[in-house]
Amino acid sequence: MFGSYLFILRRRLVNIVVLMLPLVPLAFLYLSSRPPVYESRAVLEVDTGSLTEVLLGVSRPYEEPVRRVASIAEIVTSRPVDEIAASTLADQGRTPKRVRAEPRRASNYIDIKATGSTPNEANGIASAYVFAFFEHQTSEQQEELEQLEDGLLERLEAAERQLAAATAEGPGSPAEAAAAENLDSTTRLLQTVRLRQDIPPTGVTLQSAASASPTPSNELSPVLAMLLSLVGVFFVASGITLLLELIRDAIRTRDEVERLTPAPVLGEIARSRAGSAPVGGPEGSGHRSDSRTVRLGLLARSGGSLPSSVLVTSLPDDLADSLLAAVTLAEGCSDSGQRVLLVADVPSGSAIRLQPVDRPSAHAGELAPARVDGYRFGWCPATSTDDHVGLLDLPVPKRAIEDLLASFDVVILAPGTPVLSPADLSYLTEATVVVCSIGRTHGRRFSAFLELIERDTGPVRGVIVTLPTRAPSTRARRGILRRRSAKRAAPVVRTSPSGSREAPSAGPAPRDRGPGPASSPRNGDEDRYGPAPSSDEARRAPATGQVR
């Protein structure tokens, strides 16, 4: 799932950059024109002990000093301290702003930090919270001393009754001595508590008074402001892009395609990032692998025999990938020795160019199939052009396809105009194949599109998935060509049955495809498209059929 999000960001990088162009200057102006903020800091040292523990000598459950200091630091920003500080600042005509109390690591010190628009304002706010904390701690300890005094008075009365009872039993007895000692200790504790009430300790020491830095804490250099603007706006633009992509409900994985339709996935085709073109071109090994996979998938789905006519269709936004899938399927069928005719138009956005080598003149009322430079199949347009009559513009396209099947084994129909729906064209062919473009096709629209086809024309024979991928770099392509040339130039030494070695050949013998129209015409020979150009003419002719 994380990889699919990265793919979305990579594919929408241009949109992200366009969105960043107006936002980066605004973010930079905001960071540069912010009002200055000064920070003041006061340092307090706190005592983690308790008056009851100190005066009475009692012990309490162990608590780590760090946690105790953290608990005291929370009191600095508690509601009672805020109320006292707000009252003090109101008398001074100031309003409390953000105040933080941070305990120092492994110590009894607490840093009180306050911010203000001027250094004096920051110092005043920090000092107000320091004295408010002192006042709060004093009142808390005063209440603790009062409760301790009440307890000692009750304890003193009990000691007096115990001494009177011991004296009544017999003067000079051990019980009377113990009761007298208990009474004396209780009296001394009571005197100590009353003395502490006259001078109440707070357990807090001011180590450093509030002091503000003369430099604003939010001051940024222009370079840092620009860097923060770029990073922040990039994350904002990326989040907006991902949100819009999730709202758009684009299909991002093959598993989503399999969940949306019961039709099997015939194969996957890798398209380049620049456009809907096969990676590596028609002669690339990756494209050959894709075409073979698609042909075998359709063959398995069709019960072992390919249909004589196939409609390759898609949503209107994916017509460029539809042409790519049709070209790939035509290449796979032609590589298996079949005579293939592709009836297709080149939609906008496609990097595939289907331009004939011989450029025949138009024939009124009939088709003029032509050979395309760089491909091994015949081609004629689906709709009329300046040089050709389109198949779909004929009076009876169904009869035209039947006539074409007398010369070709497979006719693949891939119209490039969105106004022609599959329901209007599926009656012309035996099978319908749908193309899904990963990252582009909408899930809900694709599901409704499949339901429409199955309702009007029957079940879909299969789905071809197009995947975006990064085209190989120039250095990688050069390495591939060097390895191929080295492999092609490697001498092959054959040994005769007698044991003697034969002369090395320049390379492996070419694979014989056998006779038939599927074989490529040699120089000077003729096929059903007319004479093939010689090697010298081919070198001089422009490569109009190559993939960009």
- Per-residue pLDDT tens for 334-380? 888 899 999 888 776 666 767 665 544 444 346 667 777 677 788 88
Q: What's the pLDDT score for residue 548?
A: 30
Mean pLDDT: which of 101-110, 416-425, 494-503 is highest? 101-110
Among residues 303, 253, 219, 177, which one has the least CA distance to residue 467?
253
Q: How far is CA 98 from CA 50, 105, 192, 472, in A?
A: 30, 22, 41, 55
pLDDT for 235 beyond 90: yes
Alpha carbon distance 177, 167 (integer Å): 9
64-76: average pLDDT: 83
- Which DSSP helix (H) or strand (E) runs through 233? helix 222-248
Choosing among 3.30.1890.10, 1.10.260.40, 3.40.1550.10, 2.120.10.30, the CATH entry for 35-212 is 3.30.1890.10
Q: pLDDT class for 262, splitting at 50, 70, 90?
A: confident
pLDDT for 487 beyond 60: no
CATH number of 262-473: 3.40.50.300
Q: What's the pLDDT score for residue 497?
A: 47
Q: Which has more confidence, 350 or 275?
A: 350
pLDDT for 24 beyond 70: yes
Question: Does this model's pTM top 0.95?
Answer: no
Q: Which residue in the block uniquely carries the two structure tokens 């039993």?
A: 169
207-223: average pLDDT: 85
Q: pLDDT class for 464, splitting at 50, 70, 90?
A: very high
Residue 215 class from Cβ within 10 Å (0-12 exposed, 13-18 middle, 19+ buried)? exposed
pLDDT for 515 beyond 60: no
Q: pLDDT class for 525, splitting at 50, 70, 90?
A: very low
Q: What's the pLDDT score for residue 83?
A: 87
Q: What's the pLDDT score for residue 82?
A: 87
157-180: average pLDDT: 81
- Of 17-31, 112-126, 405-419, the range with the lowest mean pLDDT is 405-419
- Of 150-154, 254-258, 305-309, 385-389, the range with the lowest mean pLDDT is 385-389
Residue type, 492: V
Three-state SS string over 306-339 comes to: CCCEEEEECCHHHHHHHHHHHHHHHHHHHHCCCC
Q: pLDDT class for 229, splitting at 50, 70, 90?
A: very high
Query: How far, in whole angstroms, is CA 498 from its chain's centroid?
Result: 66
Q: What's the pLDDT score for residue 510?
A: 41
Q: pLDDT class for 421, splitting at 50, 70, 90?
A: low
- Alpha helix stretches (DSSP H) within 249-284: 254-260
- Of 45-49, 228-232, 381-385, 415-419, the range with the lowest mean pLDDT is 415-419
265-270: average pLDDT: 88
Collapsing DSSP states into helix, strand and coil, what is residue 370?
A: strand
pLDDT for 473 beyond 60: no
- Of 210-224, 344-358, 527-541, the range with the lowest mean pLDDT is 527-541
**b/e map 499-525, b = 16+ CB within 10 Å:** eeeeeeeeeeeeeeeeeebbeebeeee
Residue type, 206: L
Q: What's the pLDDT score for residue 23?
A: 92
Asked if 263 contacts 269 with a C-beta cutoff of 8 angstroms, the reply is no
Q: Which has more confidence, 413 or 532?
A: 413
Among residues 233, 273, 272, 246, which one has the least CA distance to residue 17?
233
388-399: average pLDDT: 82
Q: pLDDT class for 480, splitting at 50, 70, 90?
A: low
Q: pLDDT class for 479, splitting at 50, 70, 90?
A: low
The chain-wide mean pLDDT, for the chain, equals: 75
Express each pLDDT in 188-202 by its tens digit: 888 877 777 676 666
Q: What's the pLDDT score for residue 77?
A: 85
pLDDT for 35 beyond 80: yes
pLDDT for 221 beyond 70: yes
406-416: average pLDDT: 88
Q: What's the pLDDT score for residue 21?
A: 92
Domain coordinates in residue numbering, the chain:
35-212, 262-473
Residues 6 or more apart whose Cβ sits within 8 Å of residue 224: none
Alpha carbon distance 139, 133 (integer Å): 10
Among residues of the chain, what percentage have pLDDT more than 70? 71
Q: Which has more confidence, 276 or 452?
A: 452
Q: pLDDT class for 26, splitting at 50, 70, 90?
A: very high
- Of 16-20, 63-67, 79-83, 122-126, the range with the lowest mean pLDDT is 63-67
